[in-house]
């Protein structure tokens, strides 16, 4: 059983779909790094101890490590790829290491025994992104 040959209209339709798909894929492939850089340009990593501002660090794509030392112990954070994560701490439960990699404003990492909070702030003047609306 042979398939029917493609008609001229079928070839044109397939061509239009392929061109439309490439129009979305190609710019993202070539310019993704610039877009990511612009996305984090106005964001900083804010560190608080006992609810008071302690240190503000730039959010970067390059890796940087910072150690927060308090009288209760230490927490080591790593900033890279446009986000932040806690990689080491000497608190007894080490739950703060399970928060993972934080990349968006509003997400945070908290170490309760050391009373350390690490979060991302956006200084672009834009409203925070809304995940969902209930009501």
For 99-114, the pLDDT digits (tens) are 999 988 888 999 999 9
* pLDDT of 23: 86
Domain residue ranges of the chain, discontinuous segments joined by +: 1-40, 41-122
Give the 3-state secondary structure of residue 5: coil
Instruction: List, in order, residues 6 or more apart from 35 with CB less than 8 Å away.
Output: 28
Instruction: List, in order, residues 6 or more apart from 118 with CB less than 8 Å away.
Output: 45, 46, 47, 48, 75, 77, 84, 86, 102, 108, 109, 110
Q: Model pTM greater than 0.85?
A: no
Residue 2 CA to residue 75 CA, distance in Å, equals: 69
| CATH topology (fold) of 41-122 | mini-chromosome maintenance (MCM) complex, domain 2 (2.60.320)
Residue 11, phi then psi, degrees to nearest 5: -65, -40
Residue 70 CA to residue 68 CA, distance in Å, equals: 7
Report the percent of the chain where pLDDT is more than 70: 80
């Amino acid at each position: 059983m042979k398939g029917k040959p493609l008609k001229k209209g079928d070839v044109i339709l397939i061509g239009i779909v392929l061109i439309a798909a490439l129009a979305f894929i190609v710019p993202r492939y070539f310019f993704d790094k610039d877009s990511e850089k612009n996305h984090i340009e106005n964001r900083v990593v804010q560190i608080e101890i006992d609810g008071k501002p302690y240190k503000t660090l730039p959010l970067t794509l390059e890796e940087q490590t910072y150690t927060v030392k308090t009288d209760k112990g230490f927490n080591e954070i790593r900033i890279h790829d446009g986000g932040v994560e806690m990689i080491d701490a000497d608190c007894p439960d080490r739950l703060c290491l399970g928060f993972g990699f934080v990349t968006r404003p509003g997400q945070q990492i908290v170490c309760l025994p050391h009373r350390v909070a690490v979060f991302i702030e956006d200084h672009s003047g834009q409203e925070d992104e809304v995940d969902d609306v209930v009501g």
